[in-house]
Amino acid sequence: KMVKVCSPGTSANLGPGYDVFGLALYEPYDTITVMKTDDSNDNDNKITITMEGEKCEEIPTDVDKNTAGVVAKKMMEDFDISDNIHIHIEKGIKPGSGLGSSSASCAGIAVAMNELFDLKLSKLELTQYASLGEAVAAGAPHADNVAPAIFGGFTMVVGYEPLEILHTPVEFEVLVALPNIQIPTKEARELVPKNIPIKDMVNNVGKACGMVYALHTNNIELFGKYMMHDAVVEPCRAPLIEGYSEVKEKVKDLVYGITISGSGPAIISLPKKEHILEVKKIFKETWNCPIYYTKVGPGAYVL
Ligand code: HSE
């Protein structure tokens, strides 16, 4: 038996919601296939992994180092699964892009294992498993990419210990640019200040609350406006993305909002329909890079 799962890219933080907010996209996505294999040649290595896609040669296929491998292994231990499995990952999301590439694989494998072995886990439990893989990739089990990859729509990680996720299905379009710059999440996390002035905390809590209010009143303009006012994380990371400050200035009247996606270098914007071509042109001229015009999606699903 084999199960195939489509697991989407996600955009974390959305400005003031560092490690809290996340959005599932339709594109790009990874496809994860898991199958039971019979080659029980009595070694401990019950899980084999192969990968294909852009830059996937940079990702280890060793079970304990591969984010999906770690998730699958833990699920097999917890549920006493003694089958041998093979995982094949088609990476449609470029690793280190800021679009939750590792999270998509972690979420996809959790959903696939749940289906293959009929584990009947809740979305919260699947998110918990998936975030174990994220710890391997980012050095911290932040769940703001795996949560939307599993729940779809817009998610809020309202607590980490224990993990608590709130979820709102939303519908809007996004324009994402993927500059060809490498920013390892681990390094980008080291740039985040350990202590912040209370006024910055007040700003970010205020803006984040405003964004949630905006979603619930269907006000994309307000959502985008507050998304641009992160006083804590984006100012530290923006210098890593050459051209970003200039782009932000150039497009400010053409989009509802724009910010760094996750730890970057991807940039997520909420375009005004009538200006999409102009914004695309500015992205292209600055970065000459892939651009995704996509919308909020449903999260990982079995194909
Ligand atoms: N919240 C995480 C960070 C997302 O900004 O480091 C990583 O993609």
- Interface pTM (ipTM) of the complex? 0.98
Instruction: Please tell me the predicted confidence (pLDDT) of residue 41.
Output: 58
Catalytic residue among 10, 90, 134, 155: 134
> Which atom of ligand 1 lies closest to the CA of 233?
5
Instruction: Please tell me the predicted confidence (pLDDT) of residue 142.
Output: 84
Instruction: Please tell me the predicted confidence (pLDDT) of residue 55.
Output: 83
* pLDDT of 39 above 70: no
Tokens of 33: 């296939």
Mutation test residue for ligand 1: of 185, 192, 260, 268, the one with most atoms within 8 Å of CB: 185
Of 293, 179, 194, 175, residue with least CA distance to 238: 179
Residue count of the chain, please give it. Answer: 303
Cβ(136)–Cβ(130) under 8 Å? no
Q: Please give the helix or strand (H or E) that residue 236 lies within, else none.
A: helix 234-237
Instruction: Please tell me the predicted confidence (pLDDT) of residue 185.
Output: 82
Q: Known catalytic residue: 27?
A: no
* C-alpha to C-alpha distance for 186 and 247, rounded to whole angstroms: 25
Identify which has the larger pLDDT, 75 or 182: 75
* pLDDT of 40 above 80: no
* pLDDT of 141 above 80: no
DSSP state of 81: -
Instruction: Please tell me the predicted confidence (pLDDT) of residue 177.
Output: 98
pTM for the model stands at 0.94
Instruction: Please tell me the predicted confidence (pLDDT) of residue 42.
Output: 56
Q: Known catalytic residue: 134?
A: yes
CA of 81 to the centre of ligand 1 (A): 32
Instruction: Please tell me the predicted confidence (pLDDT) of residue 56.
Output: 85
